[in-house]
Amino acid sequence: MLHQMQLSCRMHCAPGGVFRRATYDLMGVRRVFSSRLSLRRGALPALVVTAVAGAILVPAAGAPAASAAAPGGVSSSPGERNVEGRDFVTVRRGGKVLTVPTDLGGTGSLPAAVPSTKVNVSGSPIVAQGTRAAARSISPADGGSIETPDGEVVKAPMRAGVRRTQLVADGTWSWYMNPRALTTRAATYVGTTSTKGDIEVTRVSKAKHALQHARVARIDAALGRGVADDHASPSLLQTGDGRIAAFWSGHASTEVQYRVSTSADAMDFRPVQRLAGSGVAHRMATYTQVHYLRGDSHPYWLLTRLRNPDDNRNDWYLTRSKDLRMWTPAVQLFTNPYPKDVSKGWSYMKFVSDGQGTLDIAVTDGDPVNLATNSQFHIRYQDGVFSRSDGQPIRAMSDLRSSPMDPREGTLIYNGSSAEGPARVYDIQRDPEGRLALAMTTNFKPEGAPKASSYKWFVMTNGEWVGRTLIHGAEFAQGYDLVPGSTTRALLVNPGPTEQGRVQEWWSDDAGSTWTYRDVTPVADDRYRNPMSPWTPDAGNLRADSTITALWSAGRWDSWTDFDQAAMIETTSYRPVQLIGSTVKEGQWHARVRFLAREGVGGPPAARSVVEVTRTFPKARKYHSSDWSYRKYSAKTVTTSYTTTGSTRSLSMYAPRGTTVRVKVVAGVQNWGAGQLPTTRMR
Cβ-contact 453, 493 below 8 angstroms: no
Query: What pLDDT shows up at residue 19?
Result: 31
CA distance 9 to 67: 13
CA distance 225 to 361: 36
* Nearest of 23, 284, 1 to residue 140 by alpha carbon: 23
Count of CB atoms situated within 10 Å of the CB of 618: 14
The answer to whether residue 272 scores a pLDDT higher than 90 is yes
Higher-scoring residue by pLDDT: 464, 32: 464
* CA distances from residue 679 to 141, 618, 676, 682 in whole angstroms, order as listed: 70, 15, 8, 10
Query: What pLDDT shows up at residue 152?
Result: 86
Higher-scoring residue by pLDDT: 586, 538: 586
- CB-neighbour burial class of residue 655 (10 A; exposed 0-12, middle 13-18, buried 19+): buried
CA distance 26 to 181: 42
Residue 414, Cα to own-chain centre: how many angstroms? 20
Note the pLDDT tens digit of each residue in 232-263. 999 999 999 999 999 999 998 899 999 999 99
206-210 average pLDDT score:
93
The answer to whether residue 208 scores a pLDDT higher than 90 is yes
The answer to whether residue 87 scores a pLDDT higher than 60 is no
Least confident range from 54-63, 486-495, 575-584: namely: 54-63
Q: Give the start-end residues of each E strand in 8-152.
A: 9-14, 18-26, 29-38, 49-52, 55-58, 68-69, 75-76, 88-93, 96-101, 117-119, 125-127, 146-147
> Angle at the Cα of 435 (from 21 to 529), degrees rounded to 5?
105
* Nearest of 308, 173, 199 to residue 257 by alpha carbon: 199
Torsion angle of C-alpha atoms 573, 574, 578, 579, degrees rounded to 10: -140
Torsion angle of C-alpha atoms 385, 388, 392, 396, degrees rounded to 10: -20
Query: What pLDDT shows up at residue 166?
Result: 97
Please, what are the domains in the chain?
2-114 (no CATH), 163-571 (2.130.10.130), 577-681 (2.60.40.10)
Query: What pLDDT shows up at residue 133?
Result: 31
Note the pLDDT tens digit of each residue in 587-643. 989 999 999 999 999 999 999 999 999 999 988 766 666 666 655 666 789 999 999
The CA-based diameter of the chain, rounded to the nearest angstrom, is 122
Note the pLDDT tens digit of each residue in 456-510. 999 998 889 999 999 988 888 899 999 999 999 999 999 887 888 999 999 999 9
pLDDT band at 285 (very low <50, low <70, confident <90, very high): very high
Query: What pLDDT shows up at residue 59?
Result: 32
Q: Which residues of 196-212 are buried (b: 16+ CB within 10 A; e: fewer)?
A: ebbbbbbbbbbebbbbb
Query: What pLDDT shows up at residue 499?
Result: 85
Q: Which long-range CB contacts under 8 A does 430-434 form with residues at least 24 apart?
A: 430/352, 430/354, 430/360, 430/485, 430/487, 430/539, 431/485, 431/486, 431/487, 431/539, 432/485, 432/539, 432/540, 434/354
Residue 602, Cα to own-chain centre: how many angstroms? 24
Half-sphere exposure (Cβ direction) of 10: Cα atoms closer than 13 Å:
7
Q: Which residues of 255-289 are buried (b: 16+ CB within 10 A; e: fewer)?
A: bbbbbbbeeebebebeeebebeebebbebbbbbbb
Torsion angle of C-alpha atoms 43, 48, 51, 57, degrees rounded to 10: -70
* Nearest of 388, 305, 310 to residue 348 by alpha carbon: 305
pLDDT band at 142 (very low <50, low <70, confident <90, very high): very low
